[in-house]
Chain A
Amino acid sequence: MIVKFEKGQNSSDGVRAFLKKLLEDGMADAVLTACLSPHSPLPMPTLVTDKAMLDRAAPLLPVSPFNNARMASRVLADGVGKRIAVVMRPCEVRALIELAKLSQCTLDPAILISMDCFGRMENDDYLEEYAKSGEVAPGLPASLGDRSALCTSCRACTRFLPENVDVVLALAGETDPTGVLLASGSPKGETLLKSLASPSAELPEGRREAVARIMAERQVGLKELTEAAALRIGDMTAFQETIANCLNCYNCRRACPVCYCKECVFATDVFAHRPEILMGRAAKKGAVKIPTDTTMFHLTRMAHMAHACVGCGQCSSVCPSHIPVADLFITVAQRVQDHYGYVPGQDPGRPWPFLIREDDNHEA
């Protein structure tokens, strides 16, 4: 089911009005969405219960300082008996589904809303753009016609259409600026859209073409990215060069929505080596770099979550040494996901490839 929600001058106004309507009519008790604060043009994930506060909602801005799945999994950790509308990018939805599979959140109380995603800019680029223009663009900055304005992983993202959501904000190919097109993606979404009593609509004519154009660009981007990254790992020496400037800050781990451990082994005593261990290691090879275990960290993290990597690129965005962490992960993950025949976020009913069920038999 597709309806046209006609409010305001553009899709952003339309989305805001739609979210307000959800609170107003009691269809949701709260909305989790990116909102602007009075202090910065950078939108932050915000849990909103007062519809007046939704004037600040800005889920369509081309920037995303977090992968919102982590934040959403907090709000949805266990059913609080409230219905929560969550507005997220497709990659964030994929990550949230992976977390739900690990029982780190429950999707039952959630109304998942996602959009055709045109990608995000790096925070710094976005803020610079804002400083130049002096106002927050309601939709996308003009420069976004240029693919290079996007962050690397978004340029290589071929899964920019929402999957497994209740409501899709159909933006691709939309030219009519008097509201937003809402498409239902589930029975829950359909019931919800029916109750809006908005005029039903068709997807815009240009949509197919717009999606095909973005897809073609992204596929080229993905090929470029994986080819370049493969050279950066190829063998251990190449990999050492790639991560040589790593500071062991573990920002990538914190930013990763599917780095799922509640307590990371790299933050425990296992890797807080005692002096005699460090002396022993130094003695073995003549020298030891401190902090230790940099290669170990990256490889272990890969082994733990490459099968679930959703390619959001936040790990690269937060790296103070500008290591293309996401490029490496996306490249490695491709092979690992092929190996397991597993596509993260695609099928909520499909368990993690590591998990063994009662009826599992040995696979030859």
Chain B
Amino acid sequence: MQSFEPKIIALVCNWCTYTAADLAGTSRLAYPANVRLVRVMCTGMVDAKYVIKAFLDGADGVFVGGCHPGDCHYINGNLKAERRLSGLQVILAQFGIDSRCFSLKWIGASEGHEFQKNMARFTETVRELGPQMESDLVIL
């Protein structure tokens, strides 16, 4: 059987996790090609609909990476994201989307290694859980 290659959307904060990804790149730290990065200005702008859209359009996992608490460029956007997205996780779980397929982590700008490790770990988790959306849901 062909091994399952998950599609992962990572919504990452411009000021920290995106910079960490950049650092991982310049440091030549490879991370799984399953991850597609989307840069956002702050995790506080990650509305539930972006995550829902990603899953409905075939993502198997969604990762949100923001600044450590206290480090938010906009004071507390990351905490807003945490509050809002924790509820979304509860909702999605009721629709059969495993809550482990949706992760919010804090990765600082200097943590290139941390970024690499998180991406590898998350990709592995999502791979083990398998596809989250029935493939015959073509038109939604």
Interface residues of A (CB under 8 A from B): 230, 233-240, 265, 285-289, 292-296, 299-300, 302-304, 306-307, 331-332, 335-336, 339-340, 353-354, 356, 360-363
Contact = CB atoms under 8 A, between A and B. Distances in A.
A126 B106 CA distance: 55
Given A235-B96, A295-B140, A302-B91, 8 more contacts: A234-B94, A236-B137, A237-B136, A288-B139, A289-B140, A296-B49, A306-B87, A331-B94
Contacts of A360: 76, 79
Given A236-B96, A237-B134, A303-B48, A353 B83 contact: yes
Contacts of B96: 234-236, 238
B80 interface: yes
Given A240-B137, A287-B138, A300-B49, A336 B76 contact: no
B91 A306 contact: yes
Interface string B64-100: 0000011000001001101110111011101111000
Contacts of B48: 299-300, 303-304
A83 B69 CA distance: 44
Contacts of A240: 137, 140
Interface of B: 47-49, 52-53, 56, 69-70, 76, 79-80, 82-84, 86-88, 90-92, 94-97, 133-134, 136-140
B140 A300 contact: no
Contacts of B56: 295-296, 299
A336 B69 CA distance: 24
Contact of B95 (A233, A288, A336): A233
Contacts of A294: 140
Contacts of B92: 299
A299 B83 contact: no
A212 to B, nearest CB: 31
14 contacts: A230-B94, A239-B95, A300-B48, A303-B49, A306-B87, A331-B94, A332-B91, A332-B94, A335-B94, A354-B83, A356-B79, A360-B76, A361-B69, A362-B82
Contacts of B133: 236
A335 B95 CA distance: 12
Contacts of B137: 236-237, 240
Contacts of A300: 47-49, 52
A354 B80 contact: yes
Contact of A285 (B79, B88, B134, B139): B139
Contacts of B88: 303
B66 to A, nearest CB: 11
B139 A287 contact: yes
Among all A-B residue pairs, the 9 with the closest Cβ atoms: A235-B96, A303-B48, A362-B69, A289-B139, A285-B138, A300-B49, A339-B90, A299-B52, A356-B76
B51 to A, nearest CB: 8
